[in-house]
Amino acid sequence: MKLQKYKAPFYISSITWKEVTGKVALDHSPLMEDVLNAHLNLSDYGSGLVSLAVTFLAVQPGNALHKEEMTYRLRKKEAYIQTKLPYERVAQDEKSQTLHLMASIYLDAVKDMSKLNIPDFNLSQFAEDLELLFEEQGWLVVSC
Predicted confidence at residue 133, as pLDDT, reads 97
Least trusted range by pLDDT, from 5-14, 86-95, 99-108: 5-14
- Determine the average pLDDT of the residues in 90-105: 89
Contact indicator for 70, 2 with CB cutoff of 8 Å: no
The residue among 46 and 30 whose pLDDT is bigger is 46
Q: What is the mean pLDDT of the chain?
A: 88
C-alpha 48/C-alpha 127 separation (Å) is 15
The residue among 49 and 5 whose pLDDT is bigger is 49
- Determine the average pLDDT of the residues in 81-86: 94
Predicted confidence at residue 51, as pLDDT, reads 97
Model pTM?
0.88
Domain ranges of the chain: 10-136
Rounded to 5°, angle at Cα 111 from 107 and 117: 145
Contact indicator for 20, 90 with CB cutoff of 8 Å: yes
Predicted confidence at residue 79, as pLDDT, reads 98
E-only strand ranges, the chain: 10-16, 51-58, 69-73, 78-84
